[in-house]
Amino acid sequence: MSDSNIQKSDSEPSSKKIKIDHENDNGVNENKLELKDFETEKILNNNTFRKTVCVQGKFKDKSGVALLVLEKNAFKEEDLNNDGYFSVDTELKTFFQNDIYGNYECFPRSSLNGIKTSIIYPATEKHIAKFSQQETHIVLETPELYNKLTLPHIEKEQFNLQWVYNILEGKSEQDRVVYNNPCEKDGFVLLPDLKWDGVTKETLYLLAIVRRRGIKSLRDLDESHLPLLKRIRDEGKKKILEKYNVPSSQLRIYFHYQPSFYHLHVHFTYLRHEAPGIYAEKAHLLDTVIDNIEMIGNYYHRATLPFTIREMDNIFNIYETNGHVHRIKPSIEKIELIDK
């Protein structure tokens, strides 16, 4: 697929890379977004398990929809001491105390209470659908279904990839790059995923983005890509051990299918971290992918692959129209309740 086709999509930035500050030639920020100017319109998703919430709204005096994603930070083990959560500045509010059991709310100093915040502005309808809470279905995608339904959808409606090319070309985020292999054929860039703060080992999450263009996903891989895959695995493990002191035996290294953007990339997460998308219907371990291709060179051209789709995704409509998934209809009792 040509570069022009890869980039064919809406012109707004992907949710994976949002630039919210704009400076003029004099270095003055002309369009800084402030949370005090954010006006809530709708809660798209409130995930109480992951302690994340996505809010749809707008900024005062600005056009366009904005999405605000808030996430509670994981505990850093180095802060679990008398200089951190157990310092003299920490306050406890008692809910109840009964014999040896007590239930409290803890108020540590403000520097420990940061909330990871992502802003997507201006957000498109695809961003809104991506972050909305909705029903999910599993599709068993045969090679025939991939070529007939999935691939045309990918080529027509994927997110813009300019943010990826900016990283690979050294135009953006170079201060975040952990490792850079410049080989155009088998090279890649390793950097923290935006879901990671880049510091907390317990939530370690990095992406290896390949330099070679035109490889959209797992489906495109064959024996010609084995040197690239092995280089990502071996060099990625080595660099993460050097920089973060996490051995390869404690790394989960995998692809997503379907991926959130269609330029081949590999996820590296700490094994103790229950990152989004690590479950069987989504994640494919890199070592397993390499092994499958070594056994059958075109394995991923021939395999049936599962993936999940949600009812607001455009691809759901495609698979529903062709009879491969069925939308969940509200029960009679629920309809009656809504009518009342």
Domain that holds residue 97: 77-110
pLDDT tier for residue 313 given thresholds of 50, 70 and 90: confident
**In terms of domains, do 303 and 213 share one?**
yes
Q: What is the 3-state secondary structure (H, E, C) of the chain?
A: CCHHHHCCCCCCCCCCCCCCCCECCCCCECCCCCHHHEEEEEEEEEECCCCEEEEEEEECCCCCCEEEEEEECCCCHHHCCCCCCCCCCCEEEEEEEECCEEEEEEECCHHHCCEEEEEECCCCHHHHHHHCCCCEEEEEECHHHHHHHHHHHHHHHCCCCHHHHHHHCCCCCHHHCCEEECCCCCCEEEEECCCCCCCCHHHCEEEEEECCCCCCCHHHCCHHHHHHHHHHHHHHHHHHHHHHCCCHHHEEEEEECCCCCCCCEEEEEECCCCCCCCCCCCEEEHHHHHHHHHHCCCHHHHCCEEEEEECCCHHHHHHHHCCCCCCCCCCHHHHHHHHC
Helix axes 286-295, 226-244, angle to 10 degrees: 160
pLDDT for 21 equals: 46
Place 338 in a pLDDT band, splitting at 50, 70 and 90: very low
105 and 140 share one domain:
no
How confident is residue 4, by pLDDT bands cut at 50, 70 and 90?
very low
- pLDDT tens-digit readout, 160-182: 899 999 999 999 999 999 999 99
Residues marked as binding for substrate?
163, 173, 193, 195, 256-267
Q: Residue 28 — very low, low, confident or very high, per pLDDT cuts 50/70/90? A: very low
Query: Is residue 14 scored above 50 in pLDDT?
Result: no
Tokens of 172: 């953006």
Residues 225 and 287 reside in one and the same domain: yes
Q: Is 324 one of the annotated active-site residues of the chain?
A: no
Residue tagged active-site, from 127, 137, 225, 265: 265
pLDDT tens digits, one per residue of 259-309: 989 999 999 999 999 888 999 999 999 999 999 999 999 999 999 999 999
What's the pLDDT at 134? 79
Task: Name the band, by pLDDT with cuts 50, 70 and 90, for residue 111.
Answer: confident
What pTM does this model have? 0.68
pLDDT digits over 33-68, tens only? 999 999 999 899 888 777 889 999 999 999 999 999
From 68-82, 227-241, 290-304, the region with the lowest mean pLDDT = 68-82
Percent of the chain with pLDDT over 70: 88
Write down the pLDDT at residue 101: 83
Task: Assess whether pLDDT exceeds 80 at residue 7.
Answer: no
**Is residue 31 very low, low, confident or very high in pLDDT (cuts 50, 70, 90)?**
low
Same domain, 212 and 170: yes
Q: Same structural domain for residues 104 and 213?
A: no
Residue 25 covered by a domain: no
Kindly state whether residues 93 and 208 are assigned to the same domain. no
Identify whether 202 is part of a domain: yes
> Within a domain: residue 64?
no
pLDDT at 24: 45
Tell whether 207 and 105 lie within a shared domain.
no
Is 163 domain-assigned?
Answer: yes
141 and 281 in a single domain? The answer is yes
> Does residue 84 share a domain with residue 172?
no
Residues 95 and 197 in one domain: no
Q: C-alpha angle 5/9/15, rounded to 5°? A: 120
| Domain tally, the chain | 2
Q: Show the CA angle centred on residue 275, arms to residues 162 and 279, nearest 5°.
A: 100
Residue at 91: amino acid letter: E
Residue 13 has pLDDT above 90, yes or no: no
